[in-house]
Amino acid sequence: MKITILFDLDGTLIDSTEAILESFAQAYKTLNTTPAKEEQIIKLIGYPLDVMFRDLGVQESLVWDFVNAYKFHYRKISKQKTTLLPNAKEAILKAHSYATLGIVTTKTARYSKELLEHLGLMKYFEILIGREDVQNPKPHQEPILKALEKLGSKAKDSWMIGDTCLDIDSAKNANVKSVALRCGYGSEEQLKKCAEIITNDSLEAVEFILCF
């Protein structure tokens, strides 16, 4: 049976750090608030935006105002300030040659699809599950299970590739095999606590799965 490979997006296939940081800065400026430090923001990339703003100290009543301000700016700049990570396109092409592909991200699905279409890559993916598609984001199993259900795939024949423990723990919770990547936002120390398999980038991960 053809296997399924699900990819995270930020830190796994794309580098959108500049766009993310600029959009956070714009959100703080819009709400006339002292911005969080960039290193604090980077540590939280991978979590949903509302979670990030809460963890950065934004009061609950203003969280969604910050999220909306962020999204308004991010959509305007994301295509110009996002690049593919090294070997990401090669990884997608190789994976597509032997597997059914999907994206499971905590980013907004609509903007993620627009970004992947801009990069010429959306055509390789059968499904994209974003933040608005689930009630419980990663590390909960819901995003992965929803992707598998829509694809008609079985957990035992599926893999998740991601750069943080959010991805790996979500895969574990869904009984899906996983590969963690060093090229993203999770540190080596963090990844060793949650992942059994760690590769340098998405291409190495895809090659590992092919030979598994």
Q: Is 157 a catalytic residue?
A: no
Q: Residue 51 has what pLDDT? A: 96
Q: Which one is catalytic: 8, 133, 163, 201?
A: 8
Domain architecture of the chain: domains with CATH: 3-15+83-211 (3.40.50.1000), 17-77 (1.10.150.240)
Q: Is 135 exposed, middle or buried (0-12, 13-18, 19+ CB in 10 A)?
A: exposed
Residue 161, helix vs strand vs coil = strand
Q: How far apart are CA 207 and CA 159, in angstroms?
A: 12
Q: Residue 2 has what pLDDT? A: 87
Contact 4, 151 (CB under 8 A): yes
- Return the structure tokens found at 202: 């998405």
Q: How far apart are CA 195 and CA 168, in angstroms?
A: 6
Q: Residue 50 has what pLDDT? A: 96
Taking 70 as the pLDDT cut, the residues of the chain under it are: 1
Q: Residue 21 has what pLDDT? A: 98
Q: Which residues contact 53 (CB under 8 A, 6 or more apart)?
A: 27, 63, 66, 67, 70
Q: Residue 95 has what pLDDT? A: 98
- DSSP designation for 46: T
Q: Is 180 exposed, middle or buried (0-12, 13-18, 19+ CB in 10 A)?
A: buried
- The structure's pTM equals 0.96
Contact 210, 192 (CB under 8 A): no
